[in-house]
Structure 1
Amino acid sequence: MALWVPLAGAGQMQDFQSQGEGRASPQSLSGVNYFASQVVSLLVDRTARDARELREPLVQAMIAASVSGSDQGFEVLLAEVRRSRISFAALADLYIPEAARRMGEDWLADRMSWLQVSIGAGRLQSLMREIGNAWFADRANDAGCGVVLLIVPEKEQHTLGPMVAMAQMRRFGVSVCLRIGLSGDELRSLLETRSFDGIMISVATQARLPEVAQLIKGLRSFQTPTPPIIIGGPVISMVEDLTSCTGADYAFGDIGIALETIGLKSDALYTLRRAS
C-alpha cells in the first residue's frame, strides 16, 4: 500500500483535518464536487467488492472524466462505478493513484498538457476529499487510533499523493492533520497547542531535501521530546539514506509500516476490521 503517490499536482489544498466538517448536500454542490458526491454515494453499499485487480474501463473513464469535466464523461464514469461495485478502499488505494500516475505519464510523453493534468488532478483531489469525509461519517462514534501531522513543505507542488495517504490513515481510524506550506512560526504554534503521535513529511524531489532538513531541525527545536518524524513521497525512490541527509527518524513508502513504527498499527487494524 503506497504511502503517497507521485503526481504532477494541481493547486495547493489547505486543511482537511476537521472531523466536524459535514458533507454538503447535492443541491449545494456544483461541477466536480457534485460529481464526487455522486460517486461516493454509490460506494456506501457495504456489499461493494474490493478486488485488487484494476478494471481497465473504470480507470479510463476516471481519467477521461477528470480531464474533460464534461457531463458525458461523468455519466460514463458513474456507470462504470455502478457496474464495478468497487469499495471506498479500492477507489482510494488503487483507482485514483493509478489514474494520477497515468496522467503524469501522459504529460511526460506530451499526450497531455500541464493544464489538463492539473485540472484532472484537482478533480481527483475533490473525489478523494469526499471519500475522506465519508469515512469520517462512518467512524463518527469511534474513539480514534492516534493523531498524525502530515506536512507538505513550502514550495512543494504535489498534493494528491498526501491526500491519498491521509485518506488511507483515516480509514484506519487515525486522525490526520494535513498542513501545506506552513512557515516555521506556524508549525511552532501548531506543536505548542496540539499533540501528535507522529509527524509525516511528504517530499517529491531530491532538490527539496536541504529545506526539509532545516524543517526537521526546526520541528525538533519546537517540541521536546519530538514525535517520530517520517519522510515519504516520491523522493523515497530517489535517495537511499534519507534519514542521514534530512535528520528524520524513518523513511518509508508504506502506510502500514509507518503506522506500525509509531505504534499505531495494531489499533488501526482493529478499527479497519470493525469497518469491514
Structure 2
Amino acid sequence: MSGRDQSDDRDTAIRFLVEAALKSVADKRRFRSPQTKDDWIDRLCEEIMSASETSHQAVLSSLIATGVTSDEVLGDYVPAVARRIGELWVQDKATFVQVTIGAARLQALFQNRTDLPRGTWLDRTVPLGQSILMILPAVEDHTLGAFVAADQFRRHGLWVRMAIRLSNAELLRVVEEGRFSMLGISMATYKSVENVQEIIKNLKSSLDRCPPIVVGGKYVADSDGVEVLTGADLAVRSAREAIEGCGLASVAKSLTVDSLA
C-alpha cells in the first residue's frame, strides 16, 4: 500500500470518528429534556423541520406535560419557532426543504388543531356578535402570521374569517356580503406596501360604509407611520391594540398577545 493510500485511509478513519462523535453529542442533546423556554423553542424548531412526521408532536406533548397550556403553545412558542426558522434561513443554517416543512407544520397547528396532543385544546371562540376579516395580500408569501393573528382574535371572542390572496373584486364582494366590525391586513414585508395601498383605496372608495381597516405584522412592528403610508385607519402591534383601537368588546381580561405576523 502506498503512502498516499495510507493517508487517505487515515483521513477516512478520522472523519468517521468525528462524525460519530458529533452524532453522539446530537443524540445526547436530543434525549436531554429542555430546561428553559429557549431550550424548548430550539428543540421544537429542530424537530418541526426534521424528516420525522411525529417527533415534533412528541416535543409538544412533553412541553404541555410541564404545565404549558395549548394557548401558550400557539400564542407564544409557535411564533417564536417561526421567527427562529426565519433566522436559520437568513443565516443559511437551514435548507429550503427544511424551512418549507417547518412552515407547513407550524401552519397546520392552526388549520388542523388535532396536531396538538389530544385533549389539550379548549375552544376559545365565544361569539359576541362581532366578526373581523383577516386579509393576506396577494404578494405575501408568509401566511403563518395571519393564522397566528386570527387565533389571537379568537381568544378575545371574535369570529374571524380569512381572505387569502383574493383579487380586489373578490375581496370587495366578501366585505359587502359580510358584516365585519374590523378589517385586518397582515404585512410581513415591505413588498406588501403598494398592494395594501391599492386594497385599502379600493375598499374605501367602493363601500358606502367601510369598517375600520387595521394593518399589522412584522413590517408594521419594525416601522413607523405605516397607517399614513398605506391609508389604513390604524397600525398596531398586537391583537389587543387593534381591538381597543376599534372599540370592540373582548372576553379576555388579561392575555398576552402577539403581533399580526
**What's the CA shift for 1:240?**
1.5
TM-score, normalised to structure 2's length? 0.75
Q: How many aligned positions are there?
A: 218
**What's the CA shift for 1:138?**
2.6
Structure 2 SS opposite 1:179 = strand
Q: State the alpha-carbon separation in 1 of the partners of residues 211 and 57 from structure 2.
A: 45
TM-score, normalised to structure 1's length? 0.71
Q: Structure 1 residues 173, 237: CA separation in 2 closer, same or farther (over 3 Å shift)?
A: closer
The equivalent of 1:66 in structure 2 is: 48
Q: Structure 1 residues 166, 267: CA separation in 2 closer, same or farther (over 3 Å shift)?
A: same
Larger Rg: 2
Give the root-mean-square deviation of aligned CA atoms.
2.7
Q: State the alpha-carbon separation in 2 of the partners of residues 171 and 158 from structure 1.
A: 22
Match of 2:130 among 140, 146, 169: 146
The equivalent of 1:116 in structure 2 is: 98
Percent of aligned positions that are identical? 32
1:239 aligns with 2:223: yes
Preserved CA contact (<8 Å) 1:148 1:176: yes
Structure 1 SS opposite 2:251 = helix
| Letter aligned with residue 110 of structure 2 | M
| Letter aligned with residue 58 of structure 1 | W
Structure 2 SS opposite 1:182 = coil
The equivalent of 1:45 in structure 2 is: none
| Letter aligned with residue 164 of structure 2 | I
1:85 aligns with 2:67: yes
Q: State the alpha-carbon separation in 2 of the partners of residues 126 and 235 from structure 1.
A: 23
The equivalent of 2:9 in structure 1 is: none
Aligned runs of 1:1-276 on 2, under 5 Å?
55-70=37-52, 73-74=55-56, 76-131=58-113, 138-139=123-124, 142-144=126-128, 146-264=130-248, 266-269=249-252
1:61-83 CA distance string (max 9 Å, x none): 31122101415624641452243
1:235-256 CA distance string (max 9 Å, x none): 1144311121111111011111
Preserved CA contact (<8 Å) 2:185 2:213: yes
Structure 1 stretches lacking a partner, 5+ long: 1-52
Q: Structure 1 residues 54, 171: CA separation in 2 closer, same or farther (over 3 Å shift)?
A: farther
Preserved CA contact (<8 Å) 1:230 1:258: yes
| Letter aligned with residue 95 of structure 2 | S
Structure 1 SS opposite 2:250 = helix
Preserved CA contact (<8 Å) 2:136 2:164: yes
Preserved CA contact (<8 Å) 2:78 2:106: yes
Structure 2 stretches lacking a partner, 5+ long: 1-34, 256-261
Q: Which moved more, 1:175-184 or 1:122-131?
A: 122-131
**What's the CA shift for 1:263?**
1.5
Q: State the alpha-carbon separation in 1 of the partners of residues 129 and 254 from structure 2.
A: 8
Q: Structure 1 residues 136, 176: CA separation in 2 closer, same or farther (over 3 Å shift)?
A: farther
The equivalent of 1:46 in structure 2 is: none
1:85-121 CA distance string (max 9 Å, x none): 2112210121101111111111111110122112101
1:100-151 CA distance string (max 9 Å, x none): 11111111111101221121011011112344999996357x4335111110
Question: Relative contact order (C-alpha < 8 Å, sep 6+): which is higher?
Answer: 1
